[in-house]
């Protein structure tokens, strides 16, 4: 039995030695296979890092250019708007100056019409008073006489026909 244990232990040590040797061989093979992959990974990560820093610099430059351009655009838009406001003011002033005589003429025409209407009313009242004083119309016939005089003498723009007016 002791002999069997001795033989088994020897086999085990032989198996362990061969397993250790095979592990060392496999590890060396694995390391040699991984070496080009690690090198490729290192190069790609360096390239990616370089690309990222280049992109950041490019983006920073583009942002700076956009800021400068937007500032210049804002200034030019401000100047353009200022010029347009000035032009609109000049056009409004020119129109106001051109319209002054027309407005004055219309005011004058309106005043003349008002004066004519007032004179027509005064003439009508005077005619009515003269007619009353000449014929001494009875007081109940005064309203009818005024209505007749109004219907004959004055026609207003309001479209009211005095001949159809009912007396109370």
Q: What is the pLDDT of residues 117-147, one digit of tens each?
A: 999 888 888 888 887 776 655 566 667 777 7
Which of 19-23, 105-109, 161-165 comes out lowest in average pLDDT? 161-165
Is residue 132 included in any domain, yes or no?
Answer: no
Is residue 30 included in any domain, yes or no?
Answer: yes
Q: Given this model, what pLDDT does residue 167 score?
A: 56
Please give the residue that has the higher pLDDT: either 6 or 29: 29
Q: Given this model, what pLDDT does residue 138 score?
A: 59
> Residue written as tokens 């030019």?
76
Please tell me the total count of domains within the chain.
Answer: 1
Q: Given this model, what pLDDT does residue 134 score?
A: 67
Please give the residue that has the higher pLDDT: either 121 or 168: 121
**Based on the number of CB atoms within 10 Å of its own CB, is 50 exposed (0-12), middle (13-18) or buried (19 or more)?**
exposed
Q: Given this model, what pLDDT does residue 142 score?
A: 66
pTM above 0.75, yes or no: no
Is residue 32 included in any domain, yes or no?
Answer: yes
Is residue 59 included in any domain, yes or no?
Answer: yes
Q: Given this model, what pLDDT does residue 114 score?
A: 92
**CA distances in angstroms from 83 to 71, 72, 94, 96, 167, listed in the order given:** 18, 16, 16, 20, 68
- Average pLDDT over the chain reads 77
Q: Which domain holds residue 89?
A: 2-101
Is residue 107 included in any domain, yes or no?
Answer: no
Is residue 141 included in any domain, yes or no?
Answer: no
Is residue 159 included in any domain, yes or no?
Answer: no
Is residue 166 included in any domain, yes or no?
Answer: no
**Chain CA centroid to CA 158, Å:** 47
Distance in angstroms between the alpha carbons of the first and the last residue of the chain: 157
């Amino acid at each position: 039995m002791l002999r069997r244990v001795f033989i088994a232990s020897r086999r085990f040590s032989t198996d362990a030695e061969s397993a250790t040797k095979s592990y060392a061989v496999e590890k060396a093979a694995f390391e040699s296979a991984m070496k080009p992959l690690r090198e490729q990974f290192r190069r790609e990560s360096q390239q990616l890092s370089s690309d990222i820093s280049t992109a950041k610099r490019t983006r920073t430059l583009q942002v700076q250019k956009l800021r400068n351009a937007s500032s210049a655009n804002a200034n030019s838009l401000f100047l353009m708007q200022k010029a347009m406001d000035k032009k609109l003011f000049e056009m409004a002033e020119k129109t106001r100056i051109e319209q002054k005589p027309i407005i004055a003429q219309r005011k004058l025409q309106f005043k003349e019409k008002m004066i004519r209407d007032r004179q027509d009313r005064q003439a009508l009242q005077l005619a009515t008073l003269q007619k009353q004083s000449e014929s001494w119309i009875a007081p109940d016939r005064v309203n009818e006489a005024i209505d007749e005089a109004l219907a004959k003498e004055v026609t207003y723009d309001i479209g009211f026909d005095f001949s159809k007016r009912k007396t109370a």
